[in-house]
Amino acid sequence: MREEAKSKTGGGTALQKTVKITGFSKNSVMKIVMEGKELPEGSEFETLVLPRYTGDRQVVLNVDSFDRAAIRRKICLIKSRKQYIILGNLLPEIKADCNFKGSRSSLHRLLRSMNYRFRKVVNKRIYYEQPHIIKQRKEYLIRMHNNRSGENRPVIYLDETWMNAHDGKDKQWVQPDTLTGGTSGGVTKPYGKGKRLIILHAGSENDWVPNAELVFQSGGTSDDYHKDMNHQEFKRWFKDQLLPNIPVNSIIAMDNASYHSRRFEPLPTSSWRKGDMISWLVNKSIPFPAGSNKKALYTIIKQHKSKYLQYAIDEMAKSAGHEVVRLPVGHCELNPIEMAWSQVKGYAKKHNTQFTLEALEPLVKDGIAQVTPERWHSLVQHVREKVEDRYYEADRLSYVVTVPDFSIRVGDSSTESESESDDSENELNDSESETDISDEEDEELWGNSPLASVEGL
């Protein structure tokens, strides 16, 4: 058969030319030749059909935390105007004011990664935050607002960040080299990122917390620096370097990283044995009918276990007279230390010329010293006046918005289970399905008051 294929194409040279010109594999070309030989006259090829493109599409998602914060603030501004969040009014605004170069599909996927979901209203996609994210932000803002309004307890902001040994200035001044025809001067950065330095610190509106600085070399190669920190290391730092050095009765603001959120005691799950569920209910003095099966026991447990959700770090702070307040998921802009980190990294990159961790570490410490008490005060004031108050006002207005009647096809969803192919431009047409949301979530998200007029639709 292979010899017949060669004779049909005029030998190996013709076959090789066909492969080169068409881009098909050698086996595909031979298969098409043999199929053409066997097909009746006037019939169509089955093999000679262009395959559907299944490769990864170019989507702009490499948006850093500061640009994501700017996009979230832009969404708050649109909400404050009592407009719905749709791609048509959001995309032009963030392209004009934010560092975003993507298309509609890129923006759709970016919003999804920022915990926004969508519903179809009057043939348009309305984007909204998931109810539990809104609840987290509402609780955080109210807690901070109440503290500023009367309690005036010190607020300590903590966070981790990282730097790579090869981090440096992306552009440098050089001069033409007449001998080589190229350029000379400047510093040549090594290839790759290099080893990683992990940095952990905390601060308040007065200054960095004294003696709370922790800088160490990463032992891993993962792109996620969070994997270089673990609960035991964070717990040791929290106990030995943070708690002894902060004012009494402080509020400690932190995110929900896994090593911040180790539970004080394990809570039952549906995979627990029946005997373990019974023991937990007995220890908590929770009554249950005798002879209950495992499913009935877990139903009772679910009604009570949220009361026993405690984190080890929170309990440690509580025993020392402090309170831990968790930042809402994906809201790093509410933590002023993020802007302090930006200044620290900028200083270290500017002065990094040796590209080793040994040279980078003192630069990081010098950069930390550059963030003065005056700078810390301005960062905290910026977050309070420009970020917290804006969110507070936008969320207050959004709680009275009601979505008009619409229909949802049973089983359709915009949750994370959607396939990657659904995130293409074709996903953005009006014929597609939307999120199925419970009545409780719908009420919490949209409230009960009707909206007299809706702009932007």
Q: Give the separation between CA 285 and CA 267, rounded to whole angstroms.
A: 15
Asked if pLDDT for residue 3 goes beyond 90, the answer is: no
Q: Are residue 329 and residue 355 in the same domain, yes or no?
A: yes
Q: Are residue 155 and residue 124 in the same domain, yes or no?
A: no
Q: Are 249 and 255 in contact (CB under 8 A)?
A: no
What order do you get walking across the sheet with 155-164 strand by strand?
Answer: 214-217, 196-203, 155-164, 251-254, 323-326
Structure tokens at 170: 């992306």
Q: Confirm whether 278 is domain-assigned.
A: no
Residue partners of 172: CB distance under 8 A and separation at least 6: 185, 186, 187
**pTM for the full model?**
0.68
Q: Are residue 370 and residue 420 in the same domain, yes or no?
A: no
Q: Give the separation between CA 37 and CA 5, rounded to whole angstroms.
A: 9
Q: Give the separation between CA 338 and CA 17, rounded to whole angstroms.
A: 58
Q: What is the pLDDT of residue 190?
A: 80
Q: Are residue 165 and residue 233 in the same domain, yes or no?
A: yes
Q: Confirm whether 328 is domain-assigned.
A: yes
Per DSSP, the three-state class of 197 is strand
Instruction: Look at the alpha carbons of 353, 354, 357, 360 in this order and tell me if their dihedral is positive or negative.
Output: negative
Q: Are residue 326 and residue 374 in the same domain, yes or no?
A: yes
Q: Confirm whether 225 is domain-assigned.
A: yes
Q: In whole angstroms, how large is the CA radius of gyration of the chain?
A: 29
Which residue, among 172, 187, 199, 188, has the nearest Cα to 360 in the 3D structure? 199
Structure tokens at 279: 């023991």
Q: Are residue 157 and residue 252 in the same domain, yes or no?
A: yes
Q: Are 149 and 365 in contact (CB under 8 A)?
A: no
Q: Confirm whether 439 is domain-assigned.
A: yes
Q: Give the separation between CA 204 and CA 358, rounded to whole angstroms.
A: 29
Residue showing tokens 């309004």:
149
**pLDDT confidence bin for 433, thresholds 50/70/90:** very low
Average pLDDT over residues 211-225: 75
Q: Confirm whether 457 is domain-assigned.
A: no
Amino acid at 133: I
Instruction: Look at the alpha carbons of 144, 148, 150, 151 in this order and tell me if their dihedral is positive or negative.
Output: positive
Asked if pLDDT for residue 9 goes beyond 90, the answer is: no
Which residue, among 348, 332, 346, 337, has the nearest Cα to 375 in the 3D structure? 337
Q: Are residue 240 and residue 193 in the same domain, yes or no?
A: yes
Q: Give the separation between CA 389 and CA 400, rounded to whole angstroms.
A: 18
Q: Find the largest Cα–Cα distance for the chain.
A: 93
**Vertex 20, ends 15 and 26: CA angle to 5°?**
50
Q: Confirm whether 161 is domain-assigned.
A: yes
Asked if pLDDT for residue 13 goes beyond 90, the answer is: no
Q: Give the separation between CA 171 and CA 162, rounded to whole angstroms.
A: 21
Give the least confident one: 31-45, 162-176, 240-254.
31-45
Give the least confident one: 105-114, 290-299, 348-357, 448-457.
448-457
Residue 180: CATH number of its domain: 3.30.420.10
Which residue, among 23, 21, 53, 49, has the nearest Cα to 35 in the 3D structure? 49
Mean pLDDT score of the chain:
79
Q: What is the pLDDT of residue 69?
A: 83
pLDDT tens-digit series, residues 227-272:
567 889 999 999 999 999 999 999 999 999 889 999 988 999 999 9
Q: Confirm whether 270 is domain-assigned.
A: no
**Total domain count, the chain:** 3
Q: Give the separation between CA 385 and CA 378, rounded to whole angstroms.
A: 10
Helices (H), 320-437: 337-351, 357-370, 373-382, 389-398
**pLDDT confidence bin for 420, thresholds 50/70/90:** very low
Residue showing tokens 């501004």:
77
Q: Give the separation between CA 426 and CA 449, rounded to whole angstroms.
A: 35
Q: Are residue 442 and residue 338 in the same domain, yes or no?
A: no
Q: What is the pLDDT of residue 456?
A: 37
Q: Which residues pair with residue 125 across a beta bridge?
A: 120
Q: Which residue has the higher pLDDT, 448 or 339?
A: 339
Average pLDDT over residues 176-200: 75
Measured in whole angstroms, how far is the alpha carbon of residue 124 from the centre of its chain? 25
**pLDDT confidence bin for 446, thresholds 50/70/90:** very low
Q: Are residue 110 and residue 194 in the same domain, yes or no?
A: no
Q: What is the pLDDT of residue 353?
A: 87
Q: Are residue 226 and residue 354 in the same domain, yes or no?
A: yes
Q: Are residue 318 and residue 232 in the same domain, yes or no?
A: yes
Q: Give the separation between CA 270 and CA 101, rounded to whole angstroms.
A: 45
**Vertex 10, ends 7 and 13: CA angle to 5°?**
120
Q: Confirm whether 359 is domain-assigned.
A: yes
pLDDT tens-digit series, residues 295-324:
999 999 999 998 898 999 999 999 999 999
Q: Are 324 and 63 in contact (CB under 8 A)?
A: no
Structure tokens at 189: 């950065």
Q: Are residue 116 and residue 34 in the same domain, yes or no?
A: no
| Residue range(s) defining the domain that contains residue 19 | 2-38
Please state the φ and ψ torsions of residue 454, each to the nearest 5 degrees.
-120, 120
